[in-house]
Structure 1
Amino acid sequence: MTYTMLEKAGKNVCALYQMPDVMQQQGQVPYWLSYVSVEDIDASTQKVATLGGAVLQEPCDVMESGRMSLIQDPTGAVFALWQPKQHIGADLVNEFGTFCWNELQTKDLETATQFYSGLFGWQTRTTKNALGGEYVEFLRGEHSGAGMIEIQADWGDVPPNWVVYFTVENCNATLEKAKALGGRVDMDPIELEDVGRFAIVQDPQGAYFTVIEMAGNAS
Structure 2
Amino acid sequence: MANDFVWFELVTTDTKAAGDFYKAVVGWSSEMSSGPAGPYTIFKAGEIPVGGMLEMQGVPPGWLGYVGVDDVDAYAKKVEAAGGVVHKPPQDIPDVGRFAVVADPQGAMFIVFKGSLSEAPPRPAPMSPGSLGWSELHAADWEKAFAFYASLFGWVKYDAMPMGEMGVYQTFGGPDGAFGGMFSNHQPAPGPYWLYYFGVEGVDSAIERVKTQGGEVLMGPIEVPGGAFAVNAKDPQGGLFAFLGPRG
State whether TM-score is above 0.5.
yes
Given that 1:138 and 1:144 are in contact with CA atoms closer than 8 Å, whether structure 2 keeps it comes out as: yes
Match for 1:191 among 223, 227, 231? 223
What secondary structure, in the 3-state scheme, does the structure 2 residue paired with 1:2 have? strand
| Cα distance change of structure 1 residues 209 and 90 upon mapping to structure 2, 3 Å threshold | farther
| Residue-pair matches, total | 208
CA distance in 1, matches of 2:238, 2:204: 20
1:108-160 deviation digits (Å, cap 9, x = unpaired): 112211110111111223411555631112222242132111103xx474520
> 1:146: which partner in 2?
180
Superposition deviation, residue 65 in structure 1: 0.5
> 1:121: which partner in 2?
154
CA distance in 2, matches of 1:35, 1:168: 21
- RMSD of aligned C-alpha atoms? 2.0
**Percent identical residues:** 31
Q: List gaps (5 residues or longer) in structure 1.
A: none
CA distance in 2, matches of 1:32, 1:78: 9
Superposition deviation, residue 188 in structure 1: 2.9
1:157-215 deviation digits (Å, cap 9, x = unpaired): 452001100111211110101111111111131122434211111111111111112xx
Superposition deviation, residue 88 in structure 1: 4.2
TM-score, normalisation: structure 2: 0.77
> 2:18: which partner in 1?
none
Amino acid at match of 1:16: M
Mean CA deviation greater in 90-99 or 66-75: 90-99
> 1:77: which partner in 2?
108
Residues 53-202 of structure 1: pairs in structure 2 closer than 5 A: 53-86=84-117, 88=120, 91-94=123-126, 95-130=128-163, 133-152=167-186, 155=187, 157-202=189-234
TM-score, normalisation: structure 1: 0.87
| Cα distance change of structure 1 residues 85 and 193 upon mapping to structure 2, 3 Å threshold | closer
Given that 1:32 and 1:208 are in contact with CA atoms closer than 8 Å, whether structure 2 keeps it comes out as: yes
Match for 1:44 among 61, 64, 75? 75
Given that 2:104 and 2:148 are in contact with CA atoms closer than 8 Å, whether structure 1 keeps it comes out as: yes
Given that 1:13 and 1:90 are in contact with CA atoms closer than 8 Å, whether structure 2 keeps it comes out as: no
> 2:45: which partner in 1?
8
> 2:63: which partner in 1?
32
CA distance in 2, matches of 1:80, 1:204: 24
Mean CA deviation greater in 180-189 or 70-79: 180-189
